[in-house]
Amino acid sequence: MLGRKVIQYWAGIYASKTYIRDVFPSAGPKGQGLTWIGWGDVETMPEWVKTSPFPRADIKHTVREGIMQMYMVENGMGITQLPCYAQHYCPELQLMPGTTLQPDRNIWLLLHGDLKDTVRVRLLVDFIADELKKLRPMFEGTSTRAT
């Protein structure tokens, strides 16, 4: 297996604009009164929640699918950590006040070693890598939403 790291994406703690307007102002210290939307079957508070600006927010919802989390946040059900490119597709999402985007994971292209010398496969991998690199501003949270 051969791998090529193509791009790194950034993530942040997001809520809907209405959630920030209606719920955030009444939140107590360290996020008391806010609601986290968690990842999967989490029974204990993950470390990234403990070290966030909102460690006292309750985890009231957990889902396994990132797209579902995005829609739950968009519909005002709470806050969660999402890749910044989610905002590109859901303009209702907004970074929580007092937070910033942070480098998160990398996107890799993987190729079976037996295919590394196959021209059509190499051309496809190079094309995909080039197209992903063109989207760098979206993955780093510096682009505006496409129309």
Kindly list the domain boundaries of the chain, sorted by start residue.
12-103
How many Cα atoms are found within 13 Å in the side-chain-facing hemisphere of 132? Answer: 16
* Spatial distance between the Cα atoms of 61 and 41, rounded to a whole number of angstroms: 10
pLDDT score, position 146? 42
Specify the DSSP element, H or E, that contains 7.
strand 2-16
Where would I find the H helices in 23-85? 47-50, 66-74
* Spatial distance between the Cα atoms of 3 and 114, rounded to a whole number of angstroms: 13
pLDDT score, position 44? 66
pLDDT score, position 147? 33
pLDDT score, position 102? 94
* Full-model pTM: 0.85
Pick the CATH number of 12-103 from 3.40.50.1260, 2.40.128.110, 3.40.50.2300, 3.40.190.10: 3.40.190.10
- Residues of the chain short of pLDDT 50, as ranges, are 145-147
pLDDT score, position 143? 76
pLDDT digits (tens, 9 = 90+) for 23-60: 999 999 999 999 999 877 666 677 878 889 999 998 88
pLDDT score, position 32? 95
Is residue 14 within 8 A of residue 86, CB to CB? The reply is yes
